[in-house]
Amino acid sequence: MNVYFDNAATTSVSETALNAMLPCLKENYGNASSLHALGQEANRVLDEARQTVASLIGANPSELYFTSGGSEADNWIITQMAYQGRRKGKTHLISTAFEHHAVLHTLKKLEKEGFEVTLLPVHEDGLVRPEELDAAITDKTALVTIMYANNEIGTIQPITELAAISHKHGVFFHTDAVQAVGHLPIDVKAQGIDALSLSGHKFHGVKGTGALYCRKGVLLGNLIEGGAQERGKRAGTENIPGIVAMAAALQEACDNMEENAARVTAMRDKLIAGVLQIPNSRLNGDPVKRLPGNASFCFEGVEGESLLLRLDLAGVCASSGSACTSGSLDPSHVLLAIGLPTEVAHGSLRLTLDEVNTEEEVDYVLEKLPGIVRTLRNMSPVWEDMIEAGTAQAY
Ligand SMILES: *Cc1c(COP(=O)(O)O)cnc(C)c1O
């Protein structure tokens, strides 16, 4: 059996998205800036896609800028709001310790340019404390950027409350909502979100597509100079097939959101209950305030990378949820941020499901995983030490 439980990394392209983009590749291949009929047809579908994506997050089409993905949207808004703040003498930026690297590395770059960055703690449950944001904001703060839902442990932040606190102090609020859009209901106006990043390939669109929402009235600096695309702020001929696929995928995800979430949550909870039967295992992040499809675990006495390889041999695509590449022994910054000791963080496993998965796949993973963990433990000197120290029992 082949099981894809790595939907937080990327998703398959849905039939709906594929069928929507094919005409833009075959017959309707015009450049939206051309004045002839083919160009105008391209311009029409581009407008339509902008209307669709904007309305599905509660924004106006004129507030939406198409990008190459979530990383680009994050880089763009964070850098621009920082520079804008500096012109008014505001050089302090606030975020959290467990953001995506598209945010953290942008903040690192800005720190080198003289900005001061505060990373709020996310505590053992993987949640920001609103009062800690309140206390961290100063009269120098230019921007608060906090992710909607975490890509490794799935925890969902109290975004509406965090935006309200930022506004109380007159500070701009951005959220990296890449893991949330298409999976959780979002209304940027009702929630007071000033800017939001999204990515098409996390909800069955295609890779290399995304968008930045930025509230009207904010002077957003240009990202790419050139033509008049994206109101002159992000030049370059639009990726119309990708944009159309993203809009179609998001429409489908939002149309079916409630039933998808219910079914995926039920599968996730069955998976979590089954996996936690394994001795010396733990669920990472709040058990309830988490994405419908996210199940993140740590197994003591196991190396996450070996676990992945064994699962792969059994036909299961998963992730260690760690930034660990071969040759690097650094555990995930997310798992360290929720206070896990390095040796525990090394034994991490992220299983991310979505609506294309089935209960049979959950059963299959529950059949294979315990044996794999046990085999690896029986080969592990760390596990042996734990038995000797009495923190684990042989089984
Ligand atoms: C995937 C992801 C990104 C990056 O999006 P791309 O479209 O791949 O650039 C950013 N933030 C989060 C939370 C993500 O999960």
How much is the mean pLDDT over the chain? 96
What pLDDT sits at residue 298? 96
Q: What is the pLDDT of residue 325?
A: 44
Helices then strands, each counted (H, E), the chain: 14, 12
**pLDDT for 118 beyond 90:** yes
CB contact at 8 A, 5 and 352: yes
pLDDT score, position 324: 45
Average pLDDT of the segment spanning 22-26? 97
- Longest alpha-carbon distance in the chain: 78
pLDDT at 323: 52
Please report the atom of ligand 1 found closest to the CA of residue 10.
Answer: 1
User: What separation in Å is there between the alpha carbon of 147 and the centre of ligand 1?
Assistant: 11
Output the pLDDT for position 321. Answer: 73
Amino acid identity of residue 121, one-letter, is: P
pTM value is 0.97
Name the one residue in this structure whose structure tokens are 């085999």: 375
- pLDDT tens for each residue of 281-329: 999 999 999 999 999 999 999 999 999 999 999 999 999 875 544 445 6
pLDDT score recorded for residue 120: 98
What are 224-236's pLDDT values in tens digits?
999 999 999 999 9
- Residue 36 — pLDDT band, cuts 50, 70, 90? very high
The phi-psi region of residue 198 (left if phi > 0; otherwise alpha if psi is between -120 and 50; otherwise beta) is: beta
How confident is the model at residue 329, as a pLDDT? 64
Indicate whether 210 pLDDT > 70: yes
Query: Which tens digit of pLDDT belongs to each residue from 39-63?
Result: 999 999 999 999 999 999 999 999 9
At 343 the pLDDT is 87
CA 200 to ligand 1 center in whole angstroms: 9
* Averaged pLDDT, 194-222: 97
| 214 catalytic per annotation | no
pLDDT in tens, 364-383: 999 999 999 999 999 999 99
**What is the rounded distance in angstroms from the CA atom of residue 327 to the CA atom of residue 32?**
46
* Whether the CB of 211 sits within 6 Å of ligand 1: no
How far is Cα 179 from Cα 229, in angstroms, rounded to an integer? Answer: 27
Counting ligand 1 atoms within 8 A of each CB, the residue from 11, 13, 174, 176 with the most, and so the one to mutate, is: 176
Q: For tokens 């001929």, what's the residue?
A: 237
